[in-house]
Amino acid sequence: MFLIKNIKLLTINKDVFTFMIALYFILRDIIMPVFIIIIIGFLLQKRMNMNLQTLARINIYILVPAFIFVKLYNTTFSATMFSNVVFFLIIYIFFLSILAISISKLFRFGKRKKATFINSIIFYNSGNYGVPVNDLVFKGDALAMSIQVIVLTFQNMLVFSYGIFSLDSINSGKLKALIGYFKMPVLYAMVFGIIFNVFEVPIPEFLWTSANYLSDAMIALALMTLGAQVAQLKFKSGLSSLYFSVTIRLFIGPLIALGIIFLLPVNNITGQALFIASSMPTSVNSAVIAQEYNNYPDLAAQAVLFSTIFSAITVSCVIFVSKMIF
């Protein structure tokens, strides 16, 4: 009996040690680099008083299109895996949207606040946070990274289609917002990225080099823009919408994702990658578009900031649980 108790105790201690190691590596390799760039943006804004609208537009009209095109052009994936991941994402976003809309109606959010609140829940950081986490967990596994790229592409498509439409239609009307979306370069970056990938269209070296330079700049400028937004924030107490946003994004979202994954015919790596991807904090781009359309940018920036801070713990827990389940 004494031996059995000691074995159980050793197992528990080993699990706790594994969790602490995972937490340490995520804090060191993922959270710290992200927050260093956010702090740089914060300090630059305090010292130079940068134009946030200009920063947001550089992201939306130049850097994000380049980033999406490069990622789509480089990605390799099978039709079956692609369809399973996209099906999961559609169902997942559907349930998150229903939950966000229900809370918005329950607390009687106005149209403007409702749009930003929903965006803070359904848009998550699958790029500069999700990609490094995936690489750390799966040690560069090609299948796992392909899944993450699909998630990243889907999220970017959603942000720069529905996300922009939901904010722009409040001020300009649905028809003008729809017409405005077709003027967005990100749409054509998606289309040409997929077409050039499928038909293996060669790209001249000088153009490809330029596209990669712009793509590499996207994450840094997006995070600095967030830091600049944080520098201008007026933090409010009793901001219930923020509490709901962070709770759903970090706690309820992964649970919903896990339930959907169990119902899908996916292998362990796919299930684990999707589960971990669903636990990411609110997307920086949700704050960028909120700033561009001046639609509760403070709420959007705070959702990104606080969900990113608390995700150091929640993402570590999801990674730990995923290794036990899958």
Q: Residue 172 pLDDT more than 80?
A: no
Residue 141 lies in a domain: yes
Q: Quick one: residue 122, left, alpha or beta (phi over 0 = left, psi -120 to 50 = alpha)?
A: alpha
Note down the domain range covering 248.
20-325
Angle formed by the axes of helices 79-106 and 253-262, nearest 10°: 140
Q: Is the pLDDT of residue 91 over 60?
A: yes
CA 83 to chain centroid, in Å, comes to 20
CA separation for the pair 293, 290 (Å, rounded): 5
User: How many structural domains comprise the chain?
Assistant: 1
Mind listing the pLDDT tens digit for each residue in 275-317?
999 999 998 888 888 887 878 888 888 898 889 889 888 988 8
Between CA 326 and CA 314 the distance in angstroms is 18
C-alpha distance across the termini of the chain, in Å: 31
The residues that bridge with 9 in the sheet, in sequence order, are none
Residue 1 domain flag: no
With respect to residue 193, please indicate whether it lies within any of the assigned structural domains: yes
Find residue 282's DSSP bridge partners. 124
The reply to whether 131 falls in a domain is yes
Tell whether 13 is covered by a domain: no
Helix (H, G, I), strand (E, B) or coil at 183: coil
CA-to-CA distance for 77 and 54, rounded, in angstroms?
36
Query: What are the backbone dihedrals phi and psi of residue 267, each rounded to the nearest 5 degrees, phi first?
Result: -80, 175
In a domain, 8, yes or no: no
Q: Which residues of 293-319 are buried (b: 16+ CB within 10 A; e: fewer)?
A: bebbbbbbbbbbbbbbebbbebbbbbb
* CATH number of residue 243's parent domain: 1.20.1530.20
What pLDDT does 319 receive?
86
In a domain, 7, yes or no: no
Which residue(s) pair with 200 in the sheet? none
What is d(CA 320, CA 318) in angstroms, rounded to the nearest whole number?
A: 5
In a domain, 2, yes or no: no
Nearest to 222 by CA among 312, 125, 321: 125
For the cut 70, the answer to whether the pLDDT of residue 207 exceeds it is: yes
Please report the pLDDT score of residue 13 as a whole number. 58
Question: pLDDT per residue over 10-69, tens digit each?
Answer: 455 566 777 677 678 777 877 788 888 888 999 999 999 888 878 888 887 898 888 888
Chain mean pLDDT for the chain: 83
